[in-house]
Amino acid sequence: MVEIKKRVANLKMFIDGEWKDSESLETRPVINPANGEVISYAPEGTVADARAAIFAARRAFEEGVWSGISAQERASYLFKIADKIEEYADELTQLETMDNGKPLREAGFDVGDAAACFRYYGGLITKPDGYTYHVADPMQAMVVREPVGVCGLIVPWNYPLLMSVWKIAPALAAGNTIVFKPSEVTPVTPKKLFEIFEEVGLPKGVANMVMGAGSVVGNEIASHPEIDMVSFTGGTKTGKHIMKTAADTMKKVSLELGGKSPNIIFADADFETAVDYALFGIYAGAGQVCSAGSRILVEESIYDQFVARFVERAKQIKVGPGNDPSTEMGPLISKEHLEKVLHYIELGKQEGASVACGGNRILSNGLDSGYFVEPTVFVDVKQEMRIVQEEIFGPVVVIQKFKDEEEAVKLANGTIYGLAGGVFTNDGAKGLRVIKKLKSGITWVNSYHPTYNEAPWGGYKQSGIGRSLGTFGLEEFQEIKQININLQVEPIGWFSN
Ligand code: NAD
């Protein structure tokens, strides 16, 4: 358990344009997962802090300091934010690696994507939208899009900066004001992002950040009547809780949740390409990626050959601290998460699966104070095993065998999740045929993981509701209003007197 203590924090929250400690003065240590050291102390926000942020966001929204300015003016702020993210790219990259543990190379990509996301939404919001309808004279009907109002944004720890930006950029572009909660584990780069908001001069109360526990600050955001929408990224269990909580005030909800995504390799695929992407699919981010290809399904005629090559390459992955430029895979986020992943590895063995490689915490080469786990492969798995069905969120993959297209699709769709999926084949028609049968929101053919600001991101089934990114991601943060105008202003005469 993390120790919460009274003291002035190194990090601060941003409420109504001011940097604040928690009103309780309680703090939580922020830990570097590569060595277990305390990087800083974050304010442990309270319900009162969350309410202060909610009221500031409400006031700013109603005063129209943000929704009332032109889309072009809002866009100019977003472009300035993008420029600043690029200006501070090195600092943001270092901070992200220190806080989350991911290798510098991965953190650098996230920072670049974050700037591009602000630029994309700055551009998008100035484009024409809305509709007009040809209804009977003398009426004119049209539809306009409006901001939802005050949006509560709650994000996880696996992409501390990028997940924040995927919500904040479209929410602000649309004219909303926001109450944002980073993960209590990774508040460092979100704090730097809010410094940028201050630097570019966002009006007071438009963007507010409250740090602290999900059960306290997150719960207040999900339940408070002055929050019009809650946009959440995190685990499916938490997402269900938020949806139930938000139902009381009938908030709009958008949920980006967990996954157990299939990566299907047919015998006719380019073998080395398939192995290479399959490794990237599961071990990028040390498997702590919602869309991770954590179930590899391989056609039986190449199964043994595939497992042998995959294991050979998995063993060569250089695991180490993210700030070492030679590191290819970093640590898990925390001691608690390390224990969860190791527990799943034990569970897999108890269930009767075989470990083809890995399976242990790494305690050698000076990594014993961090939370490192070997790239792990399970074979001899059955579809009903928990290691096949549940999201482990670590560098642990199961490799299953299938005999034909039909069985591949059945296994692929056989979990509660439906976030992502990949297919490797040199038969274009087969690739598309299988993709169309996958119950997944994000799919790739002969590739895995690339993500685009332009294209919608989100899941089927229990992987979520709604979409991030692209035009769909903007629409999540907009209400739709029908406007009907009478062009002949005279009584209708429906009643005789
Ligand atoms: P989590 O659900 O534990 O926490 C996510 C956020 O919710 C945190 O900020 C947390 O403080 C907050 N929270 C926790 N309990 C809450 C409550 N009762 N009310 C309101 N807020 C609450 O998830 P995590 O461990 O931080 O992140 C890992 C999960 O996120 C994985 O399941 C992963 O698949 C998912 N994820 C999904 C996507 C996607 O796009 N679908 C992207 C990234 C991560």
349: left (phi over 0), alpha (psi -120 to 50) or beta: alpha
Q: Which amino acid appears at position 194 of this protein? A: F
Q: Which residues contact 69 (CB under 8 A, 6 or more apart)?
A: none
Give the 3-state secondary structure of residue 424.
Answer: strand
DSSP secondary structure of 14-29:
EETTEEE--TT-EEEE
**Pick the catalytic residue: 96, 220, 290, 328?**
290
pLDDT of 5: 86
Residues 263 and 447 sit within 8 Å (Cβ to Cβ) = no
117 is catalytic: no
Distance of CA 341 to the CA centre of its chain: 20
In the chain, what is the straight-line distance between the N-terminal and C-terminal CA atoms, in Å?
74
Q: In what order do the strands lie in the sheet with 207-209?
A: 18-20, 13-15, 207-209, 177-181, 150-154, 229-233, 252-256, 464-465
Residues 321 and 370 sit within 8 Å (Cβ to Cβ) = yes
**Residue 68: CA atoms inside 13 Å, Cβ hemisphere, count?**
8
**Residue 193: CA atoms inside 13 Å, Cβ hemisphere, count?**
29
**Cα gap 467→194, rounded to integer Å:** 24
Q: Which two tokens stand for residue 408?
A: 């591949």
Per-residue pLDDT of the chain (497 residues; tens, 9 = 90+): 788 888 878 999 999 999 999 999 999 999 999 999 999 999 999 999 999 999 999 999 999 999 999 999 999 999 999 999 999 999 999 999 999 999 999 999 999 999 999 999 999 999 999 999 999 999 999 999 999 999 999 999 999 999 999 999 999 999 999 999 999 999 999 999 999 999 999 999 999 999 999 999 999 999 999 999 999 999 999 999 999 999 999 999 999 999 999 999 999 999 999 999 999 999 999 999 999 999 999 999 999 999 999 999 999 999 999 999 999 999 999 999 999 999 999 999 999 999 999 999 999 999 999 999 999 999 999 999 999 999 999 999 999 999 999 999 999 999 999 999 999 999 999 999 999 999 999 999 999 999 999 999 999 999 999 999 999 999 999 999 999 999 999 999 999 87
Q: Is 268 exposed, middle or buried (0-12, 13-18, 19+ CB in 10 A)?
A: middle
Q: Convert the pLDDT of each residue in 390-402 to its tens digit.
A: 999 999 999 999 9
Closest residue by CA, ligand 1 atom 22: 214
Q: Is 350 exposed, middle or buried (0-12, 13-18, 19+ CB in 10 A)?
A: exposed
Query: 405: Cβ below 6 Å to ligand 1?
Result: no
pLDDT of 497: 77
**Cα gap 116→432, rounded to integer Å:** 29
pLDDT of 469: 98
pLDDT of 264: 98
Query: 27: Cβ below 6 Å to ligand 1?
Result: no
Q: Which residues contact 317 (CB under 8 A, 6 or more apart)?
A: 279, 283, 328, 329, 375
**Pick the catalytic residue: 256, 328, 391, 405?**
256
Q: How far is the CA of 234 from the centre of ligand 1 (A)?
A: 2
151 is catalytic: no
Q: Which residues contact 314 (CB under 8 A, 6 or more apart)?
A: 279, 283, 357, 358, 375, 377
Cβ neighbours, 10 Å, residue 406: 11
**Cα gap 377→353, rounded to integer Å:** 10
Q: What are 20's strand-pairing partners?
A: 13
Q: Which amino acid appears at position 235 of this protein? A: G
Give the 3-state secondary structure of residue 249.
Answer: coil
Residues 353 and 381 sit within 8 Å (Cβ to Cβ) = yes
Q: How far is the CA of 481 from the centre of ligand 1 (A)?
A: 31
Query: 158: Cβ below 6 Å to ligand 1?
Result: yes
Testing ligand 1's pocket by substitution, the residue of 238, 336, 457 carrying the most ligand atoms inside 8 A of its CB is 238
